[in-house]
Each structure stands twice: as structure tokens, then as C-alpha cells.
Amino acid sequence: MRIFNFSAGPSMLPTKVMERAQGEFCDYGKTGCGIMELSHRGSEFTAVIERAEANIRQIMQIPDGYSVCFIQGGASLQFAMIPMNFLKPGSFAEYADSGSWSSAAIKQSQFFGDTRVVASSKDTKYDRIPAFSTWKTSPGAAYLHITSNNTIFGTQYSSFPDSKAPLLADMSSDIMSRRVDVSKFSLIYAGAQKNLGPSGVVVVIIKNDFAAKAAEKVPTMLKYSTYIEKKSLYNTPPTFGIYMIALVTDWIKEIGGLAEIEKINNAKAKLIYDKLDSSKLYKTPVQKDSRSAMNVVFTLPSEELDAKFLKEAKAQGLIGLKGHRSVGGMRASIYNAMPIEGVKKLVELMDSFEKANA
């Protein structure tokens, strides 16, 4: 029985990518060694990291004047690294609060200086992206930070604000899931473990003239300029994670790039949302104009039914559907690697379960 993993992250990777990694695991490029055993300064890994960067640039159509960095520490380190570099004394930063991870970013920024929440949907339990017309921004902000997709609450920006301040985005859970105009942003960061590869590496896309505005007295390993100048090779990087990003981005190119990925992801999300909209058993708390195409959250009427649904799902090879512990319910994470067959199987289960338990 094939297993379909709906976990929010680390999440499933494309089967073709996993099989290729398996085939090269002990002998990469006829070296007799696995890629994780080879020097990060050797020619074999140099070709890998350069391919990963070139793929990212091509797939996301990154304009000139941007650097692509591979950084350890997860997106959570970026919550602190950003204000450490750019929130200087006497300046202020602006944040939109749309969920748990944006809230975590705000808390880290507050350690470094004046941090202003310009929009929030906390009062309605993060059931929506705050309407841009309600945002209370001020001239002169060091930057405006958003979280493009909210894994726990199942919300996603369908468009992005027009910002006079440099716009920064945590895209950990929807990077490369759809086409995005990178030129609107001064910095984009994303943990790899949802759409790009395994955990342990973050991709940072940063505008060079924004990076140049960073404070001078920042520890070497926490300065963006270190990664830009040293091409992410100041110290030993997470070589296997970067290798996997190269393989995943190879796969994205092979299946048609972001135009095709976006089409498939929208089709997958529609299947589940159509079921939710027609159901009397399942409910989703997310407002329609804020629904995520990556993380579909829904609830059943009782914890007993939750447990029963999860048990039946596991028996059919559908795992990782339990909602985040802070909100409960169900969460189907349908990142790029989730095939439409897995989503169809989930909807079939939802149909049969509703007939038996309505």
C-alpha cells in the first residue's frame, strides 16, 4: 500500500527525487563516496551548490541584483537574524500578524528594537489574512514583514501589499508553489522542509542593495553579507540538504516549472475545498478569500470523530492529518510533492466517512 504523507513538515518529497538520491547515496558521480562525505570546497559539491542556485534563479525568475544564500538554523533563526541586521537604533520595523509563526517573528524582533504590528487577525483566531485597507503603516519603516502562508491556520496571501518600505516575506510553506514576482520583495526566506528538500537548510533570496544597509556590528555567522560574499561557503554548509534542493529543483523544472506546479496545486486544493463546501459534517474556519492552497484545515463535530477519522485514514495509508496541537482538528498539507492521487484518496475517505458518520 502506498503511503501518502500529509504532514506539515518535514513533509513528503517527490518519489523520483527520493529514488535518485537513493541511487546516488553511496556513490555520487562515480566518486565512490556519498555527496555528504565529499568536501564542501571540492569540485563535485561546487557543481551541486551552483546548480541549486541556478535552478532557484531560473524557476523563480529572480532579477539581477539579488543573491541566493543557503543558511542553517531554520526559518526561526531568520526571525532574529533579520532585525539583528536591519532594525537599527532609532528605526522601527513593521509586521503583519497572521498566525503563530508571524507572531513568533514579532517576538524575536522585539528583542532588538521598535517593532510595530500594523495588521492582525488574532482577534478572529487567525481565520483570514487582514485586508490591506486596514493596515496601519507609517513612512520610514526599516522593513515590512509578512508570512505568506500560515501552516497552522490554513491561510495564505492571494496577493501582496504594495509597500514603500522594503517588503520581507517568510515563504517557508509556499515557496515555489506558485508564481511570485520576486522584484516586489527585498528579502524572501524559506525553510526547505516543505517544498524544497529536507530540514536543516534555509533558502534566502536577498536584494543586494538591501543587504548593504545592514548594521556593522553583527556576528559573522549572522550577517547576510557573509553568505553573499562567501557564496554560502564561509563555513561547512548543510551539504546534503543543498544537494536535495538541487534534485527537487531539477524535478520542478522537469515537470514544467511554476506555471505547471501552480496549476496542479490549485486543482488539488479545489478537490478538498469543494468537499468541505458541500459537507454537513466537515467545517473549515478559514474565510474563502484567505484559503491556503498548501495547508487545508478542517474540523469534525467531536474529538471522538477526530480520532476515528485519523484511525481510518492511517489504515488507508493517509498519514500526518492531525491538526496542530494548538488548534486541533485536521490539516491536510498538500505541498508540491503530494500527487493528486493522494488528494483524491483523501476526498474519497472524507466521502465514505461522512456517509457512515453523519
Residues 291/143/54/34 CA torsion (nearest 10 deg):
-80
Instruction: List for the chain the helix, strand, coil content (%; round to 5).
Output: 40, 15, 40
Let me know: does 143 contact 134? Beta carbons within 8 Å.
no
Half-sphere exposure of 192 (CA within 13 A, CB side): 29
SS3 134: helix
**Catalytic residue (one of 97, 170, 174, 306):** 170
**Catalytic residue (one of 194, 223, 275, 322):** 194
CA distance 149 to 99: 9
Q: Which long-range contacts (CB under 8 A, 24 or more apart) does 130-139 make?
A: 130/96, 130/98, 132/161, 135/96, 135/161, 137/94, 137/163, 137/164, 137/165, 138/92, 138/94, 139/164
CA distance 64 to 204: 15
Half-sphere exposure of 74 (CA within 13 A, CB side): 8
Q: Catalytic residue at 101? A: yes
| DSSP string over 190-222 | EESTTTTSSSS-EEEEEEHHHHTTS-S-S-GGG
* 202-207 vs 155-156, strand pairing mode: unpaired
CA distance 7 to 138: 38
Which single residue is written with the C-alpha cell 542553517?
72
Q: Catalytic residue at 194? A: yes
Q: Catalytic residue at 170? A: yes
Neighbours of 72 (CB within 10 A): 15
**Catalytic residue (one of 97, 101, 223, 268):** 101
Active-site positions read: 101, 170, 194
